[in-house]
Amino acid sequence: MTTFTYNSEEEVIHAALHIMESKTITGDYFKTVAATSQYFKLRLASLEREIFSVMYLNNQHQMITTEDVFCGTIDEVSIHPREIVKAALLHNAAAVVFSHNHPSGSVEPSSNDRRVTVRLMEALGLVGIRVLDHIIVTQRQTFSFAEEGLLY
C-alpha cells in the first residue's frame, strides 16, 4: 500500500478532487446528488469569492470536464449564458451541472440564483443540452435545485 504525505490542506483537497475525477472514466462517481455536491463542496466551499462552475457531461452523464467559468466578488458573480452555451457546445456536452459557492455561509438560493438558473436552462435547452442540477455550496452545507424541485 502506498502512503502519501501532504504538506497542506490544499494538496489534500487537490488529491481528493483528482481521485473523484479519475473515477468518472468508468462512470462510477457522479451518479448521485450527494457525490456531485461533495465534489463541488471540495472544489468551491473554502473560496473567498463567488465562483460559478460548470460540469459538462456526456449523454451517459459521465463528466467530460469541470470548469470555473465566472469569478465574482464576496456576494455576487455575473453569469453570461452565451459563454456557457458556447463552452457546452465546444465540449460536446449533452448535459450540465452548475455550482457556485456562497462565501457568506447562507446556502439559500437568492432570487438572482433562481432567475439565472431559469435563463441558463432556456438558453441551453435551445441547443438540446439538459441542466441536471444547480448546487450551491458553503463550508457547512449544500443546496440542490434538483432535490428541491426547482428545475422545471
**What value does the mean pLDDT take over residues 41-70?**
93
Task: Return all residues near 27 (Cβ < 8 A) that are at least 6 apart.
Answer: 60, 61, 62
**What value does the mean pLDDT take over residues 115-131?**
97
**pLDDT value for 14:** 54
Please state the domain extents for the chain.
9-144
Query: Among residues of the chain, what percentage have pLDDT more than 70?
Result: 80
- Residue 55, H or E segment: strand 51-57
13 vs 113, residue with greater confidence: 113
- Residue 136, H or E segment: strand 130-137
**pLDDT value for 50:** 95
**pLDDT value for 75:** 87
Look over the chain and give the mean of its residue pLDDT values, rounded to a whole number: 86
Q: Per-residue b/e over 71-103, b at no fewer than 16 CB within 10 Å?
A: ebeeeebebeeeebbebbeebebbbbbbbbbbb
**What value does the mean pLDDT take over residues 111-118?**
96
In the predicted structure, residue 2 carries a pLDDT above the cut 80: no
CA distance 137 to 86: 25
**What value does the mean pLDDT take over residues 45-72?**
93
CA distance 149 to 152: 8
Q: What CATH architecture does domain 9-144 belong to?
A: 3-Layer(aba) Sandwich (3.40)
Lowest mean pLDDT among 4-18, 73-87, 93-107, 132-146: 4-18
Looking only at the bridges linking them, the beta strands covering 130-137 and 142-144 are antiparallel
Task: Return all residues near 11 (Cβ < 8 A) that are at least 6 apart.
Answer: none
* Range with the largest mean pLDDT of 16-20, 26-30, 117-121: 117-121
- Residue 20, H or E segment: helix 9-22
**pLDDT value for 20:** 53
